[in-house]
Amino acid sequence: MMRPRIHRTRIYLFWMGFTLLAAMIQTNWPGLLKFQEVTPDIILVFLVYFAIAFGEEWAMFTGLLGGLYLDVAVGTTLGHHVICYVITGYILGRLSTRLISEHAAIKAGAVFMSGFGWGILYMSIQYFQRPQSGMIQPLISNIIPTAFYSAILTPVVFLTLDRIFHRRDYMGGGLQP
């Protein structure tokens, strides 16, 4: 029986569009999702979804695209967000092959731990660039609440992305030419 050919270009364009839309919401309309001066890291939630659903390649490319947009939009050193997201995506993508990741608590925990790890990596790089800025206070006041808030949004974002990308139906292993 022949299976219909799925146009991968359309899938990749959807993926790129939704990743850029998430980055634009995160940077241009942070007040839309702000709660008690904390905004979620939507790119990180997308990154965790693609790491669990489709592997480390999708997660790394999501981190590259979202991190590049954030670096340009926020005005940080070019590559600061990119390196943090790509490393986080690679590690989580490799770990997701060894985890039973279908339970909602595991997914939310993965988002929280990824957010915390991403924050430590981000603050470490920032601390090495400017030691006078400190590292502990931003970690406690910003990174941990952001990771927690991102973990709370995980079920809604994952359900939406599952509906859009028909999880693993036609994208099974990574980016293919």
Residues whose CB is less than 8 angstroms from the CB of residue 123 and which lie 6 or more positions away in sequence, other chains included: 135, 138, 139, 143
Q: What is the pLDDT of residue 7?
A: 65
The pLDDT assigned to 4 comes to 53
Mean pLDDT, contiguous 10-residue spans, the chain (177 residues): 62 88 87 82 93 90 94 88 94 85 84 93 87 77 90 90 68 43
At 173 the pLDDT is 45
State how far the alpha carbon of 46 is from the alpha carbons of 2, 23, 86, in Å.
33, 10, 12
Is pTM beyond 0.85? Reply is no
- Per-residue pLDDT at 174: 45
Q: Dihedrals φ, ψ of 41, to 5°?
A: -100, 90
The domains of the chain, with CATH numbers, are: 8-165 (1.10.1760)
Write down the pLDDT at residue 78. Answer: 87
CB 96 within 8 A of CB 138: no
Residues 96, 143, 71, 75: what is their CA dihedral angle, to the nearest 10 degrees? 180
Among 67, 93, 84, which Cα is nearest to 174's?
93
In this structure, how many other beta carbons lie within 10 angstroms of the beta carbon of residue 60?
24
Query: What phi, psi does 165 have (nearest 5°)?
Result: -100, 5
